[in-house]
Each structure stands twice: as structure tokens, then as C-alpha cells.
């Protein structure tokens, strides 16, 4: 399946947000995920299926003032 | 010194630190510790796949430190609300440094969008600390909208120019019922002292510490500067003479005659 992670087309076998998070080795803390402009809380990752062409935004902490 | 209270939470330190521009996360961590700060800003960025960089967050997570995620990079209120929700999810805090500066050249905050976003975010349960123009009327409006502080700029971000907005900061401080945090432009410890002597509740400093020759030593200098300014304010400064006639501080007796 093809999805877009931060606007970049990506092939994945993952069927849920949780599987994708594991595939990308996202850290335990300091990340947030939105799918098709809707924030998906970590507790719901396992129950959030990915669809073909989904637009996924993943952010993490960065240095800034 | 009085404790600083924001949204019911007490802070011993009145120096907030930004985490940008340090040469390394290790230097950032050491500077945070040396400064004694209890409030540290953090930005957000989109991850890059195959990203292997050092996680900055593990260098600042401590029980004594309130993380203050910022919304840097957003262009309007709608984007700010989305960023705020992402920040709350990522960092587990509803505290937020709201900053909306669509123009990358001067990074000046958009007052209209900042006010709109503050209204929305307060309703969504965020503790909103808006970075804003040193505009007394705007600061009142932000306060009325439920902002936990106002954070007017001393000068444009990263310029180290000091309190160019001093006259307006004075009015803001006089009128505010929420803490006034001078954010942006503070380039030297003397600027921070001056802001604190004027009655500012806190200073937010980033560039001046991060780009110093020795950031850790500069963090200590700012800690002391903020404390000195606050102590002077609480002690009550003597009034400044508005004429040029000296007033003796020693008795003018005929010592030599």
C-alpha cells in the first residue's frame, strides 16, 4: 500500500498507525501523528487502520525558542 | 524573591530558556541546568524517514522543568490550533507558547491571528502564553481572551538589540493582570535586569545564551541578572531625578575646614 508520510510517498505493509509507528521506529515520547488532518492519539494507534493514499503527518520535538 | 505563578503553577526561576541555536544538545542541556530555569521552550518538526539524529527531548526532561511547546512555523490561527493539538499529544502538556509569525524576514507576530488563536485555544483548555507585539491594547485583549501571560517582544527575534519597545513594555506591565514575560530581543544580561527592574514577571532568552562564546557561563550570568533585577524591583527603586541638580548622599558638613 502507498501512503504519504510528511508528503513523501512511501510503500508500507503496515495496516494500522501502530504498525507504521513500529516500522518507522518512532520514539516512545515526543511524537504526534495525524492522518488526513485528524490527530490520532497514541492510545488509538492500534485501532486506526491505514488506507491507500492516506496523508500522514508525523512530528517530533525539535530545538527552538 | 516572590514566586512567579502562571495558571496556578509556581516557579522559583523567572528565566525561561529557548532551546534553539545551541551547537549541541549537550551544550543546551548544560546551559539549561546552569540557568536554573524551570520553563523551557521546544519546537516541533516533521520527522524525516531514516532519521537517526539525537533526540533533543531527553536532554531537557526533568521533573522541575515545564515544557513549553511553541507553534513556530504556523502562519495563521487555524494552523496554530492544529499545531497546539499536535504538541499536546506529543509532549503531554496543555501549556503552549503561541507564536504566529508568517513573515520569515522579520518574524514579527501577526496580532490578529494571535488573538483569534488565543480565543480558540483557551476554549480548548490550553494554557496559552502568546508571543506578541509590545502593544498595550493587544495585550489587554489577549488577557481578556484568557491568555495565561502575555509575552511582548523587546526587539525582533534573535537580534540581541535589547528593550527597543521599553516605553510600551512599561505600559503593558502597568496595565497587566497576568504575568508579563519579555520575549525576544534580549541580548545581554543587562537587558534582562532592566526588564525585571521595570516589573516584568520573567524573561525568555534563547539566542543571547545559545550563541555566546561560553553558553553555560552566559546562562549563569542571565540567571543572576534576572534575579538582581527582580530583587531590585521588589526592594523598590529610588526615584530618578528629572533635573540636573545633584542630591548629596553624604552629609555636606565642613569636614576640611
The pLDDT, as a whole number, for residue B257 is 63
Give the domain extent around A54: 2-60
Q: Is residue B250 part of a domain?
A: no
Give the domain extent around B155: 4-235
Per-residue pLDDT reduced to its tens digit, B74-97: 999 999 999 999 999 999 999 999
Q: What angle do CA B135, B157, A57 make, to 5 degrees?
A: 105
Rg for chain B (alpha carbons), in Å? 20
A18: domain CATH number is 3.10.20.30
A 11-50 near B (Cβ less than 8 A) = 24, 26-27, 29-34, 37, 39, 41-42
Q: Is residue A7 part of a domain?
A: yes
Q: Is residue B26 part of a domain?
A: yes
Helices (H), ranges, chain B:
25-35, 77-91, 111-123, 136-144, 166-175, 189-197, 207-210, 215-235
Residue B68 pairs with which residues in a beta bridge? B41
Whether residue B97 lies in the annotated active site? yes
B86 to chain A, closest Cα gap in Å: 6
Per-residue pLDDT reduced to its tens digit, B211-252: 999 999 999 999 999 999 999 999 999 887 777 777 788 877
Which ipTM did the prediction report?
A: 0.91
Tally of structural domains, chain B: 1
B66: domain CATH number is 3.20.20.70
Q: Is residue B253 part of a domain?
A: no
Cβ–Cβ of A64/B86 closer than 8 Å?
no
pTM for the full predicted model: 0.91
Measured between alpha carbons, how far is B146 from B129 in angstroms, rounded to an integer? 10
Q: Is residue A65 part of a domain?
A: no
Cβ–Cβ of B82/A64 closer than 8 Å?
no
What proportion of chain B, given as a percentage, has pLDDT over 90?
Answer: 84
Tally of structural domains, chain A: 1
Q: Is residue B156 part of a domain?
A: yes
Amino acid at each position: 500500500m502507498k501512503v504519504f508520510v510528511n508528503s513523501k510517498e512511501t510503500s508500507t505493509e503496515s495496516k494500522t498507525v501502530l504498525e507504521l509507528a513500529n516500522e518507522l521506529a518512532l520514539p516512545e515520547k515526543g511524537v504526534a501523528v495525524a492522518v488526513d488532518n485528524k490527530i490520532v492519539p497514541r492510545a488509538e494507534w492500534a485501532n486506526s487502520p491505514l488506507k491507500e493514499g492516506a496523508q500522514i503527518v508525523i512530528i517530533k520535538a525539535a530545538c527552538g525558542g | 524573591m516572590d514566586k512567579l505563578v502562571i495558571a496556578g503553577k509556581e516557579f522559583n526561576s523567572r528565566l525561561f530558556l529557548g532551546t534553539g541555536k545551541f551547537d549541541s544538545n549537550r551544550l543546551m542541556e548544560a546551559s539549561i541546568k546552569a540557568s536554573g530555569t524551570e520553563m523551557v521552550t521546544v519546537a516541533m518538526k516533521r520527522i524525516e524517514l531514516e532519521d537517526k539524529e539525537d533526540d533533543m527531548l531527553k536532554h531537557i526532561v526533568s521533573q522541575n522543568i515545564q515544557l513549553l511547546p511553541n507553534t513556530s512555523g504556523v502562519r495563521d490561527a487555524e494552523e496554530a490550533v492544529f499545531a497546539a493539538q499536535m504538541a499536546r499529544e506529543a509532549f503531554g502538556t496543555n501549556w503552549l507558547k503561541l507564536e504566529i509569525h508568517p513573515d520569515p524576514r522579520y518574524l514579527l507576530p501577526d496580532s490578529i491571528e494571535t488573538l483569534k488563536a488565543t480565543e480558540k485555544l483557551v476554549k480548548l483548555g490550553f494554557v496559552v502564553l502568546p508571543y506578541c507585539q509590545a502593544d498595550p491594547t493587544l495585550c489587554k485583549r489577549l488577557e481578556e481572551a484568557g491568555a495565561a501571560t502575555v509575552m511582548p517582544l523587546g526587539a525582533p527575534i534573535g537580534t540581541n538589540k535589547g528593550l527597543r519597545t521599553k516605553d510600551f513594555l512599561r505600559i503593558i506591565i502597568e496595565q497587566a493582570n497576568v504575568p508579563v514575560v519579555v520575549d525576544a530581543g534580549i541580548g545581554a544580561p543587562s537587558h534582562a535586569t532592566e526588564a525585571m527592574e521595570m516589573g516584568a514577571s520573567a524573561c525568555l532568552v534563547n539566542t543571547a545564551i545559545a550563541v555566546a562564546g561560553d553558553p553555560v557561563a552566559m546562562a549563569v550570568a542571565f540567571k543572576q541578572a534576572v534575579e538582581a533585577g527582580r530583587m531590585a524591583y521588589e526592594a523598590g527603586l529610588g526615584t530618578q531625578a528629572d533635573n540636573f541638580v545633584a542630591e548629596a548622599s553624604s552629609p555636606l558638613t565642613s569636614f576640611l575646614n
